Amino acid sequence: MKYWKAALAAAVFASTTVTAVAETVLRLDEVAVGELDPAKASDYADSILMFNVYDTLILPAQGGPGHTGHLAESWSSEGNSFTFKLRDDVTFQSGNPLTADDVVFSLDRMKALGSGLSYLFGVVESAEKVDDLTVTFNLESPYAPFVASLVRLPIVDKKLVMENLGEGDGDMKDWGTAFMSANSAGTGAYSVKSHNPQEETVMVKNADYFLSVADAAPDTVRLRYGLEAATVRALISKGEHDIASQWLPPEVVSALAKDGAQLFTEAGTGAFYFKMNTTKAPLDDANCRLALAHAFDYSTAIKMIAISDDISAGSAATGAIPVGMYGSNPADQILAQDMDKAKEYLAACKYDPSEMDIEVSWIAEVPLEERFALLMQSNFTALGIKSHINKMPWALFAEQVAKAENTPHISQLFVNAVTGDPDTLLYGMYHSSTPGTWQSPEHLNDSVVDEMLDAGRSAASPEDRAAAYSKLNARLMEIAATIYGFDRQSVFAASNRVKAPALTDASKAFGLDGLGFSFRLMEMTE
């Protein structure tokens, strides 16, 4: 009995004392499970891990276009081959020095596993070691965005991985996947202390990082997975959490901002799309698609994602390409609802509107999408078209889009350019050679679009690329395979214990999703 009382007293006591910690801890969260193997990394949580535990040959320049060296000192190109000179002062967290072998191995591994973003390197024929610190990539065909795509080629520690191969067939067994999904094998500024894909990854500062890192950068980072919105909201208010994921509903972010939280933003590489299945009646008729695209209430959509008077989770779309990328329309030519035009297009459509029943799907993991589904449904009703809403878990959606006939009429998706280049945004969505992935539920097959996409990736000069994407933009608006909801801006609510210039200062922004979360560039103020 006495003991019980003591425990209770201690409980009350524990809740009121502030534990003094000498080292600084940054706490953030993501909705998805964290994949630590960088060759399998694809979503935002994976990217945060990858950009901190691993390094890439180059990085996007901060606050502007172009790229700067990172693990590579310099690079040059000749025809379809690109040669990179590596820094000589880089060691992995294991202590092994970085060499050209590691780069070759990283590419081979990425291609062999064939998951994550490995499709970016489909055009790369081989990587060859020239000498210990020089490596050459040979491409099969001209590919303008190649250098940009290297931001998604993390360099792994060949020696360490080879020492830890798991079970599997062939020489390379499992390519170290079992090891890599639980351990770090990178050069990054942070090493993995513990990793539980459903719960949390704990990272600590790597004292031997090849670049100097500010003392104020967090000593320990705890990345937690799958927290509920209400939990994150409460934890931040209580000062027990630092940066919320971008998937918090806008109301919650705005409630936090009112309580004094700061807002981080990351913009400009993607958009929110309502993708129409162009193979399924009645949406196989472009006039019907145009009718829906004109009936959509763009301005309400923007209001729905507003967080405060001056910050929103997106800005008005101007066309098929987000503002700021090659081929985009000026920021003031925003798309707007036009019911008269919508009716005209509907009249020209070969199907009878009274017989239509449009299936509007939304991804169960992104509750905000339900509201867009409802908005669309009410817009379509105003046009006299019936529709029904279907909630789909992500896994099921990804499986169903493989076949055109199983793909819903309308799918809602956030897509972003994983390398910052428009090619990685648009090629996967619209080229006829890439149908049936989660990015391309349009199942579009349009020769003009294909031609422009190919021109955009093989053009030599930036001007030629811009021209090709500009034409592509016009064509996409003409055939309306997609309703362009808004240009996406990620907003993160954060405590005042942390400063992240790459997420608050436009001149320090990377223009690449997830890279703003390089913890080495953050500063803890407490």
Residues lying near another protein in the complex (CB under 8 A): 7-8, 10-11, 13-15, 19, 21, 25, 27, 33, 114-115, 119, 181, 196-199, 222, 226-231, 233-235, 238, 240, 249, 251-252, 255, 300, 303-304, 364, 367, 370-371, 373-375, 377-378, 381, 387, 389-391, 393, 395-396, 398-402, 436-438
Q: How far is CA 237 from the centre of its chain?
A: 27
Q: How far is the CB of 81 from another protein (least distance, A)?
A: 27
Q: How far is the CB of 155 from another protein (least distance, A)?
A: 22
Q: Which of these, 25, 27, 64, 56, lies nearest to 39 by C-alpha position?
A: 56
Nearer to another protein, 258 or 310 (CB): 258
Q: How far is the CB of 450 from another protein (least distance, A)?
A: 20
Q: How far is the CB of 60 from another protein (least distance, A)?
A: 24
DSSP string across 451-466 = HHHHHHHH-SSHHHHH
Nearer to another protein, 398 or 467 (CB): 398
Query: Using CA atoms, how far apart are residues 457 and 465, in angstroms rounded to an integer?
Result: 7
Q: How far is the CB of 316 from another protein (least distance, A)?
A: 16
Helices (H) and strands (E) in the chain, counts: 17, 18
Q: Say if residues 239 and 486 touch (Cβ distance below 8 Å).
A: no
Q: How far is the CB of 197 from another protein (least distance, A)?
A: 6
Q: Say if residues 224 and 28 touch (Cβ distance below 8 Å).
A: yes
Nearer to another protein, 187 or 387 (CB): 387
Query: Using CA atoms, how far apart are residues 78 and 134, in angstroms rounded to an integer?
Result: 15
Type of residue at 334: I
Nearer to another protein, 59 or 413 (CB): 413
Nearer to another protein, 355 or 399 (CB): 399
Q: Say if residues 135 and 99 touch (Cβ distance below 8 Å).
A: no
Q: How far is the CB of 319 from another protein (least distance, A)?
A: 25
Nearer to another protein, 13 or 340 (CB): 13
Q: Which of these, 305, 283, 390, 293, lies nearest to 343 by C-alpha position?
A: 293
Nearer to another protein, 69 or 197 (CB): 197
Q: Say if residues 208 and 191 touch (Cβ distance below 8 Å).
A: no
Q: How far is the CB of 458 from another protein (least distance, A)?
A: 23
Nearer to another protein, 73 or 199 (CB): 199
Q: How far is the CB of 88 from another protein (least distance, A)?
A: 36
Query: Using CA atoms, how far apart are residues 235 and 526, in angstroms rounded to an integer?
Result: 17
Nearer to another protein, 343 or 391 (CB): 391
Q: How far is the CB of 381 from another protein (least distance, A)?
A: 8
Nearer to another protein, 169 or 332 (CB): 169
Q: How far is the CB of 401 from another protein (least distance, A)?
A: 7
Q: Say if residues 342 and 376 touch (Cβ distance below 8 Å).
A: no
Nearer to another protein, 69 or 249 (CB): 249
Q: Say if residues 108 and 85 touch (Cβ distance below 8 Å).
A: no
Pairing of strands 25-30, 220-225: parallel
Q: Which of these, 419, 427, 512, lies nearest to 153 by C-alpha position?
A: 419
Q: Say if residues 199 and 225 touch (Cβ distance below 8 Å).
A: yes
Kindly list the distances between the CA atom of residue 361 and the CA atoms of 83, 247, 259, 336, 377, in Å, as whole numbers in the listed order: 46, 18, 34, 22, 11
Kindly list the distances between the CA atom of residue 495 and the CA atoms of 222, 264, 517, in Å, as whole numbers in the listed order: 15, 10, 15
Q: Residue 164 is encoded by which pair of tokens?
A: 């830890």
Helices (H), 356-511: 368-382, 394-400, 422-430, 447-458, 462-479, 501-504
